[in-house]
Amino acid sequence: MTARLNVNIDHVATIREARKTIEPSIITAAVICEQSGANGITVHLRQDRRHIQDRDIELLRDVVTTYLNVEMAATDEMIAIAERTRPDAVSLVPENPNEVTTEGGLDVVKNFDTVSNAAGKLKDAGIFVSIFIDPDTEQIEAAKRSGAQQIEICTAEYAELTLSARAMHGEGERKANNEVERIRKAAVHANSLGLLVAAGHGLTYRNVGALAAIPEITEFNIGHNIISRSVFVGLNQAVREMIDAISK
Ligand code: PXP
């Protein structure tokens, strides 16, 4: 079965916030993604509100008819927003105020009490809980114990290894293949514990295929590459091309 695609539309809000104005509309973006075949919409409500704003979550909740996944830090403020707005899913992510984008997975082992407390509150509110983690056995097992229903495997390292097509020969190709194998083993292990498995971060039209071939991965969250391509070919075509890349 082909994995689902949630399109991360944070970058549409990044352009809007560059001018603190009303365009481009993330609501229009969400509707176009859905009409183009996306299975869901993902946004990250950051504590610094650098792109997505609280009101965006409220509006998206009213408009998104497929699946709304909100990435957030496991803080009291964020969990209260989720309890109020009720997205379909929350993905708990680490957050560092100085980072350009999310850097690696959440350390569930180290932050176990905070994460399991957040997961419990979200599940009580009827929200599906996913945790963004590195493909690491200890983290997977801690995520399971915390009450999460899904893990999202951080693919940043794989993305880095496959960024340049020229590096994908010899040693470069071997390292990338090893990383695919590490992700595959993590997905199989998580699945054996009863966790669903998603993947995301840095995935592109070129590198998603090797991960789409792993049957245990049933969801991808992809943003930067799709929104970048949409500048040249339009959002509709950019989403369709990613769906093709995942299903081939
Ligand atoms: N998944 C998670 C948990 C993320 O934090 C991000 C980036 O916001 C993505 C997926 C999407 O990453 P990208 O924009 O590189 O496709």
Which pLDDT tens digit goes with each residue over 117-173? 999 999 999 999 999 999 999 999 999 999 999 999 999 999 999 988 767 778 889
Interval 50-62 mean pLDDT:
98
44 Cβ below 6 A of ligand 1: yes
Question: Above 80 in pLDDT, residue 29?
Answer: yes
Residue to probe by mutation, ligand 1, list 4, 6, 8, most atoms within 8 Å of CB:
8
Task: Give the pLDDT of residue 171.
Answer: 86
CA atoms within a 13 Å half-sphere pointing along the CA-CB vector of 217? 28
Best CA proximity match to 127, nearest among 113, 141, 148, 108: 148
Distance (angstroms) between ligand 1 centre and the Cα of 222 equals 6
User: Contact at 8 Å (CB) between 103 and 93?
Assistant: no
Q: Which residues are catalytic?
A: 44, 71, 201
Distance in angstroms (rounded) separating the CA atoms of residues 61 and 48: 21
* % of the chain beyond a pLDDT of 90: 92
Question: Above 90 in pLDDT, residue 38?
Answer: yes
Best CA proximity match to 124, nearest among 80, 83, 78, 75: 83
Distance in angstroms (rounded) separating the CA atoms of residues 243 and 237: 10
Pairing of strands 4-8, 128-133: unpaired
- Torsions phi, psi for 6 (to 5 deg): -100, 125
CATH H superfamily, domain 4-247? Aldolase class I (3.20.20.70)
Output the six-digit token pair for 189.
């292990």
Ordered by start, the domain boundaries in the chain are 4-247
Whole-number average pLDDT of the chain: 96
